[in-house]
């Protein structure tokens, strides 16, 4: 296993750490492949927590690895997106359990947008989100051109992307870009407690919530009503529903042990 990714199994859930702190955890191909393998091996986990080692979360692409001066011929960056970033974002969104991102420090370029692809984003108050792409002649990738307008609206999306100004975590939370900004020393304890809580929940249903909300972004209300009926049919047939109702009626804590 590559040292660029740390994987800690914490019972039912998994903590994954981007681990190239000397380069602010920017992505090279080795780290991409190691993260892909870590997420694949988390397919049965009941929650995933993604964070970064050291003072940053992730500074996006390691620009030393995609330096046009050192590349043969005309750079084709679509290859990097098709082979690495797009599969990563799709993998995070498709995971059948909640993915929490604990943004421990600066999140720049693709690093910011990989964080935004996670289901719940917590950030340390000292963290900043930077759409660095505009500074180097690129467009926000890893879903950024989609996530930004959907999360914060077009006016803020355009200003963030065009100016590449750092957005402090607290403003990101105020704007609805992320869920919460926390005091730095509270970030990991709260993120781990959240992962533990979600891992003890009805994982099948939580995965269905995630997928239904994804679908809502492009569906009409009518389509979404149909999707809710189909989804609720699946959820109702799952043992977690029977356990949730039994626990409620018997006034006890539920024990959601079933596989997602
Ligand atoms: C880095 C990086 C980095 C290499 C910090 N690369 N070393 C997709 C398709 C294909 C190609 C292109 O990209 C993409 C997607 C993208 O992500 S494009 C956007 C790429 N990212 C950036 O443009 C951000 C570049 N980094 C920065 O602007 C700053 O480092 C930030 C604002 C993130 C942090 O600033 P500081 O806190 O002042 O830290 P620093 O700049 O001193 O960085 C610390 C070290 O990390 C330093 O190394 P050194 O050996 O000098 O100590 C940096 O060179 C290295 N580093 N980001 N992306």
Give the range among 8-17, 73-82, 95-104, 250-259 with minimum mean pLDDT: 250-259
Q: Are residues 62 and 33 in contact, defined by beta-carbon separation less than 8 angstroms?
A: no
Question: In which residue ranges of the chain is CATH 3.90.226.10 found?
Answer: 5-199
Token pair 């604990």 is at which residue?
102
pTM of whole model > 0.95?
yes
pLDDT of 39 strictly over 80: yes
Which ligand 1 atom lies nearest to the CA of residue 85? Answer: 8
Q: Work out the average pLDDT over 119-141.
A: 98
Which ligand 1 atom lies nearest to the CA of residue 24? Answer: 46
66 CB under 6 A from ligand 1?
yes
Return mean pLDDT, the chain.
Answer: 97
Q: Which CATH number fits domain 203-249: 1.10.12, 1.10.1740, 3.30.300, 2.40.30?
A: 1.10.12
Distance CA 48, CA 13 (A): 6
pLDDT in tens, 49-79: 999 999 999 999 999 998 999 988 899 999 9
Q: Measure 23 CA to ligand 1 centroid, in angstroms.
A: 7
pLDDT of 108 strictly over 90: yes
Q: Measure 63 CA to ligand 1 centroid, in angstroms.
A: 7
Tokens of 116: 């935004």
Q: Could you count the other beta carbons within 10 Å of the beta carbon of residue 212? A: 17
- Give whole-number Cα distances, 189 to 48, 49, 98, 185, in Å: 15, 12, 17, 8
Atom 1 (ligand 1) nearest CA: 23
Question: In which residue ranges of the chain is CATH 1.10.12 found?
Answer: 203-249
Any idea which fold 5-199 has? 2-enoyl-CoA Hydratase; Chain A, domain 1 (3.90.226)
pLDDT of 260 strictly over 80: no
What pLDDT is stored for residue 212 in this prediction? Answer: 98
Q: Measure 132 CA to ligand 1 centroid, in angstroms.
A: 9
What pLDDT is stored for residue 130 in this prediction? Answer: 98
pLDDT of 258 strictly over 80: no
């Amino acid at each position: 296993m590559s040292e660029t990714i740390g994987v800690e199994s914490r019972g039912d859930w998994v903590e994954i750490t981007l681990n190239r702190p000397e380069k602010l955890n920017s992505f090279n191909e080795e780290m991409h492949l190691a993260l892909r393998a870590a997420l694949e091996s988390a397919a049965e986990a009941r929650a995933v927590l993604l964070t970064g080692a050291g003072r940053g979360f992730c500074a996006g692409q390691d620009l030393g690895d995609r330096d046009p001066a050192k590349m043969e011929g005309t750079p084709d960056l679509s290859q990097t997106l098709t082979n690495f970033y797009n599969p990563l974002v799709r993998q995070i969104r498709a995971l059948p359990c909640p993915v929490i991102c604990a943004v421990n420090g600066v999140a720049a370029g693709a690093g910011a947008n990989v964080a935004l692809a996670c289901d719940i984003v917590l950030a340390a108050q000292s963290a900043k989100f930077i759409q660095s792409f505009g500074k180097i002649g690129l467009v926000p990738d890893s879903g950024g051109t989609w996530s930004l307008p959907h999360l914060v609206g077009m006016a803020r999306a355009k200003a963030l992307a065009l100016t590449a100004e750092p957005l402090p975590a607290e403003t990101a939370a105020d704007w609805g870009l992320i869920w919460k900004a926390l005091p730095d020393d509270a970030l990991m304890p709260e993120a781990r407690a959240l992962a533990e809580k979600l891992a003890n929940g009805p994982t099948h249903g939580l995965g269905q919530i995630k997928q239904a909300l994804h679908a809502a972004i492009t569906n009409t209300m009518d389509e979404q009503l149909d999707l809710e009926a189909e989804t609720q049919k699946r959820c109702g047939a799952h043992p977690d529903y029977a356990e949730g109702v039994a626990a409620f009626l018997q006034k006890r804590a539920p024990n959601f042990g079933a596989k997602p």
